[in-house]
Amino acid sequence: MDLKGTFTAMITPFQGEELDEAGLVQNIRAQLDANVTGLVFLGTTGEDATLSDEERERVIAIGVREAKGKALVLVGTGTNATRQTIEKTIKAKKLGADIALIVTPYYNKPTQEGIFRHFEAICYEAQLPVLAYNIAGRSGVNIETATLERIAALPNVYGVKEASGNIAQIADVIHTVRGRYPNFSVLSGDDGATLPLIALGGGGVISVASNLFPTEMVSLVTAALAGDFERARMIHDALMPWFQFEFIETNPIPIKEAMSLCSLPSGKCRLPLSGLMKKNRQRLLELFSTIKLRTPCKNCAPAC
């Protein structure tokens, strides 16, 4: 399985304090209409840490029901405890997930050997395709390329979501790990790094921006994978102001505020994440007034 394309890191919409199931269905169908390759549920953007076990099961069940057979269904199952991660991965498999997205254990700050053994235990016990998720800014520890090369040799490991923010490391991973294992997929975890990652030989992106701009992100990735870098650069340049804005505060605060402004199902983030600061909301309004792309909103910007 060589994962290539646009995978949307889905938000989890709320109505007040409750899971907005109808809103989740609406968002999923909009993504499928844009022909995304896959949908990622219960990741960082999906606020997995604040959901109950019952809510997690409902999100997976809805995602599988709506998207199975139309797009790949990826589910974030990683925790900072190996046994708990295995149990969540087994549950995701039973519910019909195609791939488990497993973040490096956070807070514990394991050694490189501990990281390897964590993934080793999961791969041998959970029996679901695994996409590793390297994001040192959240987990506190980086997966070094040598460690990732060991992980890539494990059964059921299909690639990595690379969100280290280090383009030199990304290039090293593509050269070293994908060079040795040609079907090992390297996906960008940062929208702004998608184009350079594909130019280096990567396979696409797990995108926050595609919650709001699915058609554009699919077009960018499709063009880049086809070698049409002129078109890909045009789309990248048009979206770059958004790429810069979407992490102006902790993800998913900006994307949920933007979707709400565009009358798309979102709701507020759950505590401890708060709402977008007033000054940044004003910047968002200004951004929508100037961005030169189709957007799904009908009432927020003259450019729409």
Q: Please say whether the beta carbons of 249 and 206 come within 8 A.
A: no
Please provide the DSSP assignment of 144-202 as one string: -HHHHHHHHTSTTEEEEEE-SS-HHHHHHHIIIIIHHSTT-EEEESSGGGHHHHHHHT-
**Catalytic residue flag (residue 161):** yes
The three-state DSSP-derived secondary structure of 47-85 is CHHHCCHHHHHHHHHHHHHHHCCCCEEEEECCCCCHHHH
Amino acid at 188: S
Element (H, E) at 133: strand 130-134
Which of 88, 93, 158, 161 is catalytic? The answer is 161
HSE-up of residue 284 (Cα within 13 Å, Cβ side): 21
Which of 88, 93, 133, 158 is catalytic? The answer is 133
Amino acid at 36: V
- By the 10 Å C-beta count (0-12 exposed, 13-18 middle, 19+ buried), 293 is classed as middle
- Among candidates 171, 106, 177, which has minimal Cα distance to 135? 106
Q: Please say whether the beta carbons of 118 and 81 come within 8 A.
A: no
- Phi/psi for 295 (5° steps) reads -125, 160
Q: Which two tokens stand for residue 174?
A: 């593509």
- By the 10 Å C-beta count (0-12 exposed, 13-18 middle, 19+ buried), 194 is classed as buried
**Catalytic residue flag (residue 107):** no
Q: Which residues contact 29 (CB under 8 A, 6 or more apart)?
A: 66
Q: Which residues are identified as catalytic?
A: 133, 161
